[in-house]
Amino acid sequence: MTKADSLKKTETAAGKSGREPKDAIRYKRQELYRETFGYFERKAYRILDLAKYEPREAKEMVKETHRELKGVQMSRDQFRTVYDLLDKAWEKANWYLKKKYEDKHKEWTQRMQSHIERWTSLLEKPVLARERKSHS
């Protein structure tokens, strides 16, 4: 074996050993990203489900989750997926809040209309009675 062959062998071995820690770090980082993503994705889906039944609470949870996401390590695509789910939850909660408001307003309007009709009929009765008496 020549000196050049020995040197190549040493460089190759050193290169492999230098790459192994980098590969291990990369693997651990990806594993951490996956775990973190899994946690936030599950949380975002729970919030999305909650938005229909408890829209105000869901909106608060969206805000809280946004705060939690600051400083978290995930890939750009993973962040985008979580943020998209949180956006959908926010929109769904807003839709249900708006619908609830509209339903309450419609109910109130119907009640008021009923009161107006009743009051109008009560006010007309004495006038009709007086008119009948005056024509007799």
Query: For the chain, what is the largest distance between any 2 Cα atoms, rounded to a whole number of angstroms?
Result: 138
Q: In the prediction, which pLDDT does 1 show?
A: 57
Give 18's pLDDT tier (boundaries 50, 70, 90): low
In a domain, 134, yes or no: no
Q: How many domains does the chain have?
A: 1
**Is residue 111 in some structural domain?**
no
According to DSSP H, which parts of 54-135 are helical? Answer: 55-69, 76-135
Asked whether residue 127 is domain-assigned, the answer is: no
pLDDT digits (tens, 9 = 90+) for 40-74: 999 999 999 999 999 999 999 999 999 999 989 99
Contact predicate 37/8, CB 8 Å = no
Give the domain range for residue 71: 3-103
Q: Per-residue pLDDT for 118 more than 70?
A: yes
With a cut of 50, say whether residue 7 has pLDDT above it: no
Q: In this structure, is residue 110 part of a structural domain? A: no
